[in-house]
Structure 1
Amino acid sequence: MKVFHLAHKNSILNKFLTEIRDKTIQKDSMRFRRNIERIGEILGYELSKNLKYKTQKINTPLGAKQVNLPDNEVVLCSILRAGLPLHNGLLNYFDDAENAFISAYRYHPNNTEEFEIIVEYFASPPIENKTVLLIDPMLATGRSLVSVYTALKNYGTPKEIHIVSVIGSLDGIDFIKNHFPVNTSLWIADIDKNLNAKGYIVPGLGDAGDLAFGKKM
């Protein structure tokens, strides 16, 4: 798996990352969602450089021009609910993509820190031989992404998979490397070293879904 870590290079991305991490600024849920969306746009732009392109002739009011355009059938697949702002950012750039949505959440059967991943809802177009962008803002343990990939196999075998995340842990990245096919790339804004006992990224930013849409029961 190829890993593209964008925060390694200084850019305006660092400003958006800082604001979604800052516990004072992140209280503004509208700004939090917009910053996640903007990070999605940056990730989408960088990812687009690795797609296939074809040459096409277009006509302007003053003449003809040869242009190179993306030649991939793209499917954006987001994990609900936290993935929605990131999905919107990618959709701003891949505006003709097909869209898939899946629910995956942590279930604590014994009210302890141990959990399993439950996948309940999945709406997807066929993905056979297409380019799938698998969208999850927080790559913590990696178990949600692996569960989603297992469910995704029922809809076909994609040509390639691009995982798109905002913040991930080293442990989570190592975990998914062992469960995804070789034609997978990870596009991630920033990487933190640690997970706490509950499996949350440290320092991370907290619960992205709660920060974007309010606390859940």
Structure 2
Amino acid sequence: MTVHYLSENNSILNHFVAQLRDVGVQGDRMRFRQNLHRIGEVMAYEISKNLHYAPAAVTTPLGVKETAFIADEVVVCSILRAGLALHEGLLSFFDGAENGFVSAYRHHPNNDDYFEIVAEYMAVPNLTGKTLILADPMLATGFSAEAVYKKLAEKFTPAQVHLAVVIAAPEGVAYLQEHLPDSVHLWVASLDSHLNEKKYIVPGLGDAGDLAYGVKL
């Protein structure tokens, strides 16, 4: 797996991520969603550098310009629910993309810290031969990303897979490097310190889904 750390060089991306983390800003859900949306746009631009392009001629009012258009068939797929705002940001750049949605959540069968990842609902187009962009704001253990990837791979064979995450823990990155194919690209907006005993990212930002859409039962 190829890992791209986008925060290694300072850019407006780091500004957006800083606002996501700030407890003084997080109370504004609309602003939290908007920052996820804007991060999705930045990540879409970076991912676009790894796509395939076809030459094209564009007629202008004064002549013809030889240029290029994206040749890949792109599918943006988010892991519900936290991935929705990030999904919209990606989609604002890949505006002709198809869309998919997969649910994944931590299930605590014993009502303690032990959990299993359950990937159930899936609504996706045919992904075979296409460029799949999976969106999930938080990469903690890597179990959710692996579960969703394997669920999709049971039915489809994408030509390319790009996993876009905002905050990642080193443990999750290492896990995916071990369990996902070398052909997968992982895009990380910001790499954090570690996971705590409950497998939450430190310093992280909290529960992205709750901050974006309200606390769930």
CA shift for structure 1 position 182:
1.4
Q: Does 1:156 align with 2:156?
A: yes
| Residue equivalent to 1:144 | 144
| Residue equivalent to 2:8 | 8
The two structures have a TM-score, normalised by structure 2, of 0.98
| Residue equivalent to 1:135 | 135
| Residue equivalent to 2:18 | 18
Alpha-carbon distance in structure 2 between the residues aligned to 1:171 and 1:75: 27
| Residue equivalent to 1:47 | 47
Alpha-carbon distance in structure 1 between the residues aligned to 2:71 and 2:163: 19
The two structures have a TM-score, normalised by structure 1, of 0.98
Within 5 Å, give how 1:100-179 maps onto structure 2. 100-179=100-179
| Residue equivalent to 1:71 | 71
Structure 1 runs, 4 residues or longer, greater than 3 Å off = none
Alpha-carbon distance in structure 2 between the residues aligned to 1:4 and 1:69: 24
CA shift for structure 1 position 63:
1.2
Alpha-carbon distance in structure 2 between the residues aligned to 1:189 and 1:160: 20
Alpha-carbon distance in structure 2 between the residues aligned to 1:192 and 1:131: 28
Counterpart residue identity of residue 56, structure 2 = Q
Alpha-carbon distance in structure 1 between the residues aligned to 2:185 and 2:155: 20
In structure 2, runs of 5+ residues without a counterpart are: none
Percent identical across equivalent pairs?
A: 53
Once the two structures are superposed, residues 17-67 of structure 1 have per-residue CA deviations (whole angstroms, 9 ceiling, x without a partner) of 110001110111000000011001001101101111111011112211111
| Residue equivalent to 2:210 | 210
Once the two structures are superposed, residues 139-175 of structure 1 have per-residue CA deviations (whole angstroms, 9 ceiling, x without a partner) of 0000000110111013311111100000000000010
| Residue equivalent to 1:27 | 27
Alpha-carbon distance in structure 2 between the residues aligned to 1:179 and 1:131: 20
Q: Does 1:87 align with 2:87?
A: yes
Alpha-carbon distance in structure 2 between the residues aligned to 1:183 and 1:56: 28
Counterpart residue identity of residue 208, structure 1 = A
Q: Does 1:200 align with 2:200?
A: yes
Classify the secondary structure of the residue corresponding to 2:199: coil
Classify the secondary structure of the residue corresponding to 2:75: strand
Deviates more, 1:146-155 or 1:133-142: 146-155
Alpha-carbon distance in structure 1 between the residues aligned to 2:155 and 2:49: 26
Alpha-carbon distance in structure 1 between the residues aligned to 2:165 and 2:187: 6
Alpha-carbon distance in structure 2 between the residues aligned to 1:128 and 1:98: 13
CA shift for structure 1 position 103:
0.5
Contact (CA 8 Å) 1:106, 1:118: kept in 2 or not? yes
Classify the secondary structure of the residue corresponding to 1:155: coil
Aligned residues: CA RMSD: 0.8
Contact (CA 8 Å) 1:125, 1:155: kept in 2 or not? no
| Residue equivalent to 1:181 | 181
Alpha-carbon distance in structure 2 between the residues aligned to 1:94 and 1:179: 28
Classify the secondary structure of the residue corresponding to 1:216: coil
Alpha-carbon distance in structure 2 between the residues aligned to 1:35 and 1:113: 30
